[in-house]
Amino acid sequence: MEEWSITELQQKLGSGELTSVQLIQTYLERVNSLDRSGPRLNSVIEVNPDAVEVASQMDAERKAGHLRGALHGIPIFIKDNIDTHDRMQTTSGSLALEGNYSFRDAFIVWKLREAGAVILGKTNLSEWANFRGKPSVSGWSSRGGLTRNPYALDRSACGSSSGSAVVVAANLCAAAIGTETDGSIICPSQSNGIVGMKPTVGLWSRSGIIPISHSQDTAGPMARNVEDVAILLSTLTGVDAKDPATRKQRSARQIAYASQLDKHGLRGARIGVARNMSGANPNILKIFESSIEVIKGCGAQLIDPVDVPNFNKFANTEYLKSMAPDCPCRSLAEIIKFNEQNKLRVMPYFGQERMIAAQMKGTLSSQKYKEAKKKNRQLSRTEGLDKVFRRYKLDAIIVPSGGPVWPIDLVNGDAINWDMESTSPPAVAGYPHITVPAGFIFGLPVGLSFIAKAWKDSTLLQFAYAFEQASRIRKPPRYLNTIEFSTTA
């Protein structure tokens, strides 16, 4: 099946060459052949039993001349920590939350449905979005098992939005939704050769999403190209009364990000090269230098280097109370107890140290929390990114998104060996961050990150799109059992 974009799919749906029902059925066949069998990617935790029925409704509306927008009839997967009011569960990959059928859609799910998207299912993830134990295994959950990287099946898919990245990379859907606290969209996106964006915190609502950090959490779009990311970003943007952070948006109106994309979008831009965040790995730096040359060729002004200060100095939720009555756990304490009582099934590879530590902490109203939050904001914003943007009059900063992913190791957990950093400064600051495919190291994808100040999401999309159109790096996965060292690094 061709890696059709959302725009291409809409053209085929509009011409009658394809129906939404046929599209859904084709993707479901790919799920069965690639995810449930074959290479067994294990990226899908649950398929929506009503997907074909919803697609049929979208086909009927199209035939009647009623089109809801760019996502009408388009299949989208969402991460299993996002509420859906349907016959699918929301468990964050945990057996402790089996039977949690949500009473209402998350705000962004409601926006998806209103736009005519067909929710194809839910994706596997690092259990509790990688907030349970350490060392953890990215892409593994007690409910969903282990998600594998389609470029090399013995390599990590990174996390925590592992499944959302893999369903996109393997073309099991048009696009997907992930969530990020620190790196959970960027890492799996760059490691699986796709585009992923962490928006400004507050651009998308967080209501109906199982939380980790009140100040950093956000959902975000993941797709095979920048235009599809822009379409999703536009569709799901909006002010939600249940999430005060969304009130900071400059306007409640929907911005058509995709229509603003321009292949000359980098011309005249001031781009800072964050050398002190880029590490010393020669293979990563080789790709980074090539990316810099592409950006120069696009007419940008490179300020090289710029050093980002404090980039490596960063040090109970109400959601559980809203769980379905049949759900066995409705507090963090009950989850910890459940995990201990079922540790052979829930904790065969790693424990729950993070949860235990969180249980011992104070509430979000405690003075210690407020002081820590203030200090982190100071380091990441005032004395960090803001300082660099202001000093050099930058529009964005670039840095390698990461390196080639590590082999899966269920005994020792994740073995991240990158001596660089891209995710924490914008994550702690709440600023937008996008990764675009930039190259391969022994066949494993590596991405390039663009980081900007708050609410400059449209600017980042412009830069990422111009780079993507000039470089055209992405290649579909080949589902190799392991990497081929004969492949050109």
Distance of CA 190 to the CA centre of its chain: 10
The pairing of strands 301-303 and 270-273 is: parallel
The answer as to whether 477 is a domain residue is: no
The C-alpha angle 369, 370, 375, rounded to 5 degrees, equals: 100
Q: How far is CA 220 from CA 86, 203, 232, 236, 321, in A?
A: 22, 10, 9, 9, 25
The predicted-structure confidence for 29-70, as pLDDT tens digits, reads as follows: 999 999 999 999 999 999 999 999 999 999 999 999 999 999
The answer as to whether 162 is a domain residue is: yes
What's the chain's average pLDDT?
A: 91
- Please give the torsion angle defined by the CA atoms of residues 362, 365, 367 and 371, in that order, rounded to the nearest 10 degrees: 100
Answer yes or no: is pLDDT of 411 > 60: yes
The answer as to whether 394 is a domain residue is: yes
The pairing of strands 218-223 and 175-180 is: antiparallel
**Distance between CA atoms of residues 144 and 127, nearest Å:** 9
Give the pLDDT confidence score for residue 317 in this predicted structure. 41
For residue 157, the 8-state DSSP code is -
Q: How confident is the model at residue 345 (pLDDT cuts 50, 70, 90)?
A: confident
Give the pLDDT confidence score for residue 316 in this predicted structure. 42
Answer yes or no: is pLDDT of 10 > 90: yes
The answer as to whether 168 is a domain residue is: yes
At 344, give phi and psi (nearest 5°).
-65, -35
**Distance between CA atoms of residues 435 and 186, nearest Å:** 6
**For residue 360, what is the enclosing H or E element?**
helix 353-360
Query: How long, in residues, is the chain?
Result: 489
Answer yes or no: is pLDDT of 412 > 80: yes
**Distance between CA atoms of residues 435 and 428, nearest Å:** 17
The answer to whether 46 touches 86, Cβ cutoff 8 Å, is no
Question: How many domains does the chain divide into?
Answer: 1
Give the pLDDT confidence score for residue 324 in this predicted structure. 57
Domain of residue 103, residue span? 6-316+365-471
Give the pLDDT confidence score for residue 318 in this predicted structure. 46
* Catalytic positions, written as ranges: 79, 160, 184
Give the pLDDT confidence score for residue 252 in this predicted structure. 53
The answer as to whether 242 is a domain residue is: yes
Mean pLDDT of 7-24: 98
The predicted-structure confidence for 278-298, as pLDDT tens digits, reads as follows: 999 999 999 999 999 999 999
**Distance between CA atoms of residues 209 and 20, nearest Å:** 27
Q: Which residue is listed with tokens 């953890």?
A: 136
The answer as to whether 321 is a domain residue is: no
CB atoms within 10 A of CB 369: 15
Query: Which residues have a Cβ under 8 Å from the Cβ of 69 and sit 6 or more positions away?
Result: 115, 116, 235
The pTM is what? Answer: 0.91
> What CATH number corresponds to the domain at position 411?
3.90.1300.10
**Distance between CA atoms of residues 200 and 214, nearest Å:** 14
The predicted-structure confidence for 148-169, as pLDDT tens digits, reads as follows: 999 999 999 999 999 999 999 9
AA identity, residue 233? L
**Distance between CA atoms of residues 28 and 36, nearest Å:** 10
Nearest residue to 84 via CA among 263, 300, 324: 324
The predicted-structure confidence for 427-486, as pLDDT tens digits, reads as follows: 999 999 999 999 999 999 999 999 999 999 999 999 999 999 999 999 999 999 999 886
The answer as to whether 343 is a domain residue is: no
The answer as to whether 360 is a domain residue is: no
Answer yes or no: is pLDDT of 305 > 70: yes
Torsional sign, CA 152, 190, 159, 243: negative
